[in-house]
Amino acid sequence: MQYLRDPQKIEELSMAVIRERLKDHDFAAAEWAVVRRVVHTTGDVAFAGLLQFSPRAAEQGAQVLAGAKQVWCDVEMVKAGIKRRAPFLLNCRIHQPEVAEQARLAGTTRAAAAMSAAVAEQPEGGIFVIGNAPTALFALLEAAAADKCRPALVVGTPVGFVGAAESKEWLTGFDFPWISVRGEKGGSTVAAAIVNALLSLALTAQ
């Protein structure tokens, strides 16, 4: 069987297909960079209609990542999906024994306990990427609603049938920069794709 093998040509052709299928989009340039990366990563053009941005979140997110020292992830899958050469430290506390104990005592998930620990360590100006666990996003937003933290950027794309849509809907009511996905769809690959797109924008601008 004959098939295309050159990785650069495969990506170029994929992006050409995306441009053709979404040729009537009205996204701003930075938002479009995020949308096409997510569509490319998932193979699902429906994400073009599901992605949501707070005003200028893509531009602000790229700027924030350009100077970031660390980024907090809810699960290891998000961390694994972000570019290896990212110029910042990727933190994920979900497997720390003390986090597991805090989750047990609080009767919550390890992801929520890990996110609460992250917020406590960086209550101001943190970058939080939540791609899997709605409870992690709820924990972050509860802290923000109580004025216990003020993120610089939240990428919130938890996936699932319990709490995912609700947590992301709550996120859209905050005035810090955020990028999210409507409804039950999302996932770690989507969150990582968003960060990678923002990172590419940041590196291009330098």
Is 40 catalytic? The answer is yes
Q: Which one from 40, 79, 93, 185 is the annotated catalytic residue?
A: 40
Q: How far apart are CA 99 and CA 113, in angstroms?
A: 6
Catalytic residues: 40
